[in-house]
Chains A and B, each alone.
Chain A
Amino acid sequence: MSNLYIELTNFTEWLLGLVAALLDWTKLGFLSDFGDWLQTAPVVDFVSTLLVAVIFLITAMMFGLCFIWQERKTLGRFMDRRGTQVGFLGFFQNFADGIKVILKEHIVPKDSDHLLFELAIFAYLASTFMLFGCIPYSDNFYVIDVDLAVLLGIAIFAFGPFSILIGGWSSNNKFTLIGGMRAAAQLIALEIPLLLCIVSVAVLTGDLSFVGVVTWQEENIWLIVPLCIGALTFFIAAIGESERIPFDLPEAEAELVEGWATEYGDVRWGLQMASDYFRAYILCGLFTMLFLGGWAGPEFIWAEAWYLSKTFIVFFFFIWVRAATVRIRTDQILKLGWRRLLPLAVVNLLIAVALKVAGVF
């Protein structure tokens, strides 16, 4: 149990006790019974879990918004201009955009598959929000820490291309269909090197929970040193997985209007756009956790701050790559994924196995 859970359980007990006392004060028999039921262990557990989930959703979304702000400002400097200027250092641009998309009209194309069209975007968003729960901030601040947390996160992540394809197909529009197809092809091509890199991490650490991986790195060495090839492969594959600029074929603004999300309007489009950044945030978090030692660091600031600052630095490299490189074609992406990254990931796996067999770690 993390400290967060313990403190929130205490808070929930106090809160529900307060509610029960209020109900008791009414001197009505059935309400007093209801108050007694509120104080039982399952209800307290449920409410405290709900509170943890809400806190995690809000914090993760705020950091996702920080990523959008960071990208705007950093990309501005890369392009020799200032980024957005709304509010304090341009931070309120996100909120202005959010208000704008919320006020937009809800449009469903006439010939689209209505049910799938409405559901696909929610599948995409739900998988993104579920990923927030998989990423711990420190060994005291997390939602779940199951034994196979890394595998669970990647499994949820792999749900993304599926919903993208469904959304692109159900919009009944050639641009969205092409965008969905490209997304599926690209994400599958880049997901396999990504998974092989994670396998090498699991081989070395002998653990698939984030807390275990980070603890191993605290005791031994940051994995970016022995597995530098794997880290590079993971980094490139992560850029492709988050559909960012060198590999932004699913959302090719120059060719496909807005890619698979062309037909989505209003707040669904806003959340889809934001969830691209949430996914980038999650991939940066994964990179930090697997290769940069997670929240490990000198203890003059909190562990969570170490984790977040490392994540922001990784995202700076994402932005740098975006500013420096040109977009590449579909066949080049697939060639890169299957013919360059996959052999590199296999080589990296061999190195990990060799290190384990030789007994270095």
Chain B
Amino acid sequence: MRIEERRYTKADHFRATGYVLKTMKVTFKGAIRATKNRPCTILYPWEKLLYPDNFRGRPGIVLERCIGCARCAKECPNQCIEMVTIELPDKGKVKRPQVNLGRCMMCGNCAEACPTNAMIVTPEFELCSYSRGGLIFDPVKLQHPHKAGYEVNYSFALLSEMNAGGEIKTYAKNDNSVHDTIVLDGAKCISCSRCAKTCPTGAIEMVETGEVNPKTKKPIKQPKFDNTKCVVCEQCVDVCPKSALSVKEVL
């Protein structure tokens, strides 16, 4: 609808058309249209709007793919994702994300951050519940059948390649050849091997450096990172007691 800019003068007070007759004409046209076809409103509980293919409803999870890296929980802007321990038949006790949908704003960042595309966005939006507890979806309840297109993908280019002026390649999400890397400060490492135990993908292996501890006469082990397996979940960085690990961003 067009909004006309118009100044009303005193002469307009004597003119019925602008105030009454014109508006009556406009509304009558609208009423005829709404009666002949149908009103623009829909009868919601019985009829539903068609949602677009890329509609982002509540997050869902494909439990077989999830590796428990907790990147979704780190990424969530509303901090509604929490890693809880559940018992899976084939994997035993593992940590999987639980989503508080009362806080969720359906941004889909969790699905974007997921390295294995286990976290997906589903078209479900009817999330009414009689209690707040009913809105906290544990990993089992969060499950949703996967369909192509539910996962959130993106591609990126490297800043260094742009600055170099050469060919700019675009990389897909989770391209193992180019991603951030974990760097070890060997002087700080105390060989506790907690990082290797925490790693959800088994990308860390404790290898001997060749040196021997002068007190215990045992060989010193330090973590070695397999960058093709690493998903940069940074759990090893968090768990390191001496802050020996840090993330080196790929630029």
Q: B40 touching A325 by the CB < 8 A rule?
A: no
B247 at the interface (CB under 8 A from A): no
Other-chain contact of A80, B19, B23, B28, B41 (Cβ < 8 Å): B41
- A324-B27 contact, Cβ under 8 Å, with A77-B34, A77-B35, A80-B34: yes
B128 at the interface (CB under 8 A from A): no
Q: A320 touching B39 by the CB < 8 A rule?
A: no
Q: Closest CB-CB distance, B39 to chain A, in whole Å? A: 5
Q: A324 touching B26 by the CB < 8 A rule?
A: yes
- A80-B35 contact, Cβ under 8 Å, with A324-B23, A324-B24, A324-B26: no
Q: B28 touching A320 by the CB < 8 A rule?
A: yes
Provide 10 A-B residue pairs closer than 8 Å at the C-beta atoms, listed in order of the A residue. Answer: A77-B35, A77-B39, A80-B33, A80-B34, A80-B41, A81-B34, A82-B41, A320-B27, A323-B31, A324-B26
- A85-B20 contact, Cβ under 8 Å, with A78-B27, A80-B34: no
Q: B24 touching A320 by the CB < 8 A rule?
A: yes
**8 Å CB interface, A70-94 against B:** 74, 76-82, 85
Q: B19 touching A78 by the CB < 8 A rule?
A: no
Residues of A close to B26: CB separation below 8 A: 324
A interface residues, how many (CB within 8 angstroms):
15
Other-chain contact of B31, A77, A82, A321, A326 (Cβ < 8 Å): A77
Residues of A close to B20: CB separation below 8 A: 321, 324-325
B50 at the interface (CB under 8 A from A): no
Q: A80-B33, A85-B43 are in contact. List 9 more A-B contacts (CB 8 A).
A: A79-B30, A80-B30, A81-B34, A320-B31, A324-B24, A324-B26, A325-B19, A325-B23, A325-B24
Q: Mark B32-69, 1 if CB is under 8 A from A, else 0.
A: 01110001110100000000000000000000000000
Complex CA–CA separation, A74 to B28 (angstroms): 11
Interface size for chain B: under 10, 10 to 19, 20 to 34, or 35 or more residues?
10 to 19
Q: Closest CB-CB distance, B31 to chain A, in whole Å? A: 5
Residues of B close to A320: CB separation below 8 A: 24, 27-28, 31
Q: Which residue of B lies closest to A76 (CB)?
A: B39
Complex CA–CA separation, A300 to B43 (angstroms): 39
Complex CA–CA separation, A321 to B31 (angstroms): 13
Other-chain contact of A323, B27, B33, B40, B41 (Cβ < 8 Å): B27
**8 Å CB interface, A37-90 against B:** 74, 76-82, 85
Q: Closest CB-CB distance, A326 to chain B, in whole Å? A: 8
Residues of A close to B39: CB separation below 8 A: 76-77, 80-82
Complex CA–CA separation, A85 to B47 (angstroms): 14
Complex CA–CA separation, A77 to B23 (angstroms): 15
Q: Which residue of A lies closest to B38 (CB)?
A: A82
Q: Closest CB-CB distance, A219 to chain B, in whole Å? A: 34
Residues of A close to B40: CB separation below 8 A: 80-81
Residues of B close to A324: CB separation below 8 A: 20, 23-24, 26-28
| Residue ranges of B at the interface with A (Cβ–Cβ < 8 Å) | 19-20, 23-24, 26-28, 30-31, 33-35, 39-41, 43
Complex CA–CA separation, A83 to B64 (angstroms): 49
Q: Closest CB-CB distance, A201 to chain B, in whole Å? A: 24
**8 Å CB interface, A318-349 against B:** 320-321, 323-326
Residues of A close to B30: CB separation below 8 A: 78-80
Complex CA–CA separation, A244 to B201 (angstroms): 72
Complex CA–CA separation, A77 to B30 (angstroms): 8
Residues of B close to A325: CB separation below 8 A: 19-20, 23-24
Residues of B close to A321: CB separation below 8 A: 20, 24
Complex CA–CA separation, A320 to B26 (angstroms): 11
Residues of A close to B23: CB separation below 8 A: 324-326
Residues of B close to A80: CB separation below 8 A: 30, 33-34, 39-41
Complex CA–CA separation, A78 to B27 (angstroms): 6
Residues of B close to A74: CB separation below 8 A: 31
Residues of B close to A81: CB separation below 8 A: 34, 39-41
Q: Closest CB-CB distance, A142 to chain B, in whole Å? A: 34
Complex CA–CA separation, A321 to B20 (angstroms): 8
Complex CA–CA separation, A76 to B38 (angstroms): 11
Q: Which residue of A lies closest to B20 (CB)?
A: A325
Residues of A close to B31: CB separation below 8 A: 74, 77-78, 320, 323
The 4 closest A-B pairs by CB, nearest first: A324-B24, A324-B23, A81-B41, A324-B27
Complex CA–CA separation, A82 to B39 (angstroms): 6
Q: Which residue of A lies closest to B26 (CB)?
A: A324
Q: Closest CB-CB distance, A179 to chain B, in whole Å? A: 25
Q: Closest CB-CB distance, A211 to chain B, in whole Å? A: 34
Q: Which residue of B lies closest to A332 (CB)?
A: B13
Q: Closest CB-CB distance, B68 to chain A, in whole Å? A: 48
Residues of A close to B34: CB separation below 8 A: 77-78, 80-81
Complex CA–CA separation, A323 to B25 (angstroms): 11
Residues of B close to A76: CB separation below 8 A: 39
Q: Which residue of A lies closest to B46 (CB)?
A: A85
Complex CA–CA separation, A203 to B26 (angstroms): 38
Complex CA–CA separation, A320 to B24 (angstroms): 7
Q: Which residue of A lies closest to B40 (CB)?
A: A80
Q: Closest CB-CB distance, A123 to chain B, in whole Å? A: 34
Complex CA–CA separation, A43 to B28 (angstroms): 54
Residues of B close to A78: CB separation below 8 A: 27, 30-31, 34
Q: Which residue of A lies closest to B30 (CB)?
A: A80
Q: Which residue of B lies closest to A82 (CB)?
A: B39
Q: Closest CB-CB distance, A194 to chain B, in whole Å? A: 19
Q: Closest CB-CB distance, B91 to chain A, in whole Å? A: 51
Complex CA–CA separation, A74 to B34 (angstroms): 10
Complex CA–CA separation, A326 to B24 (angstroms): 11
Q: Select the residue from A321, A323, A326 with max chain B CB neighbours within 10 A.
A: A323
Complex CA–CA separation, A76 to B26 (angstroms): 15
